[in-house]
Amino acid sequence: MAAVYAQPAAANYFSAPAHAPPKQRGYRICDQCGAVEQPHLGRFRLCGGCMTTQYCSQDCQKAHWPSHKPICQHTASQISSAKQPSHGAIDESLVKGLRKFVSAHSTLLSWAGFQALQLKRLPSNIRQNALLIELNYRHSSSDSLRRFSIKGTHIVPRTYVTDNDPLVGQDILRREERCRKSGGIGCAVVLIQCGDISQVMPVEVDSPSRISWDSREDWLQVLQHFVESGRTDFKPISTTPRGIVYG
């Protein structure tokens, strides 16, 4: 029997906000110094090559480059090879669109991975499984975010990602070690795939005692709802000592 909830999983679930919401992003951690992004003080920058690693400053980005260079160039070469004529079915707009999609929906995708892997109840799942999200792509939509829809989701062995690409696997392990040193449980892996193009999204997860997100079995319905409506204003429900909050 499907679970019944008294509250929707996210703010504005049943009605879009009256005004266009500001772009939402999950908080970012500087890959060099470990600082946490404070949006009111300034936005962190994404690496332009891999669009995954983030930095609080240009100085940190420069300092991290020697260790980041292998995975960054590897990711960039994968994207470049996908644009070659031998991949005739690959559309360059799809490659760019997928990267934009992952960045715009980072909070939603992180939350979906957390729910799908049941990390609040079974934290050990983070070391065993990953969430694979398959997308459909529609060229005809004028809104770049509404070109994607959910084709399907699957729980796959984490080795499906880490063993198929050792460099990506090493990067995930590096993030996992950093997360555990700061008290987290590790790095959840979300793989977003559209046709032959894919992007790995590593999500560093706090310990369950520090995570206020409610556990939800309706995560797939919520994921489909926000993706297919092209909305990036996802703010998940949390039950705290102060009551129910969204965000």
Q: How many CA atoms lie within 13 A of 104 on its CB side?
A: 19
**pLDDT of the residue at 153:** 97
In a 13 Å sphere around the CA of 80, the CA atoms on its Cβ side amount to 8
Label residue 95 by pLDDT band (50, 70, 90).
Answer: confident
Q: Write down the residue that tokens 């999609």 correspond to.
A: 101
> What are 227-247's pLDDT values in tens digits?
998 888 888 888 777 777 776
What's the whole-number mean pLDDT along residues 69-85?
68
Q: Is residue 168 over pLDDT 50?
A: yes
Amino acid identity at 11: A
The pairs formed by 6-12 with CB atoms below 8 angstroms and a separation of 24 or more are 7/237, 7/244, 8/237, 9/214, 9/216, 9/218, 9/219, 9/222, 9/236, 9/237, 10/222, 10/226, 10/234, 10/235, 10/236, 10/237, 10/246, 11/233, 11/235, 11/237, 11/246, 11/247, 12/233, 12/235
Residues 205, 211: contact at Cβ < 8 Å?
Answer: yes
SS3 20: coil
Report helix angle 58-82 to 166-181, nearest 10.
Answer: 150
Is the predicted pLDDT of residue 175 greater than 90, yes or no? no
Q: Give the pair of three-digit tokens for residue 112.
A: 């979906």
Helix or strand (DSSP H, E) at 69: helix 58-82
pLDDT at position 22, please? 46
Encoded tokens for 37:
């992004």
* Confidence check: pLDDT of 151 > 80: yes
Lowest average pLDDT, out of 4-8, 12-16, 80-84, 120-124, goes to: 80-84
% of the chain with per-residue pLDDT over 70? 87
